[in-house]
Amino acid sequence: MKYEHIGGINKGKVMLFALSTCVWCKRTKQLLNTLGVEYDYIFVDQLQSAEKQETMGELEKWNPRCSFPTLVINDDKCIVGFKEDEIRAVLG
């Protein structure tokens, strides 16, 4: 799958499932950029159907609601929505 990689401080594996049109997703990306952490993101709305299905299957494991943004840290912790304080606490 086509995850975009953003270089930065290594805080472990940080993955962001996002929509290109979603403003809360943009705020989450901006926060990750401000914190300067290394992460990968994917705009699920821009994927072709097979890839989209596969990515949604992956997302569902973490967030059964499949809502955006969903941030997965170290294949362990999942933060759903732009929860600034929580994201800062884990990655700040």
Residues binding other proteins (CB under 8 A): 19-26, 44-45, 56, 64-68, 81-83
Nearer to other proteins by Cβ, of 8 and 24: the residue is 24
Q: CB of 60: closest distance to other proteins in angstroms? A: 10
- Whole-angstrom CA distances from 23 to 19, 20, 27, 28, 68 are 9, 8, 6, 9, 10
Nearer to other proteins by Cβ, of 3 and 24: the residue is 24
Nearer to other proteins by Cβ, of 45 and 75: the residue is 45
Question: Which two three-digit tokens encode residue 11?
Answer: 């805080």
* Cβ(68)–Cβ(19) below 8 Å: yes
- Tokens 């299957």 locate to 57
Q: CB of 84: closest distance to other proteins in angstroms? A: 9
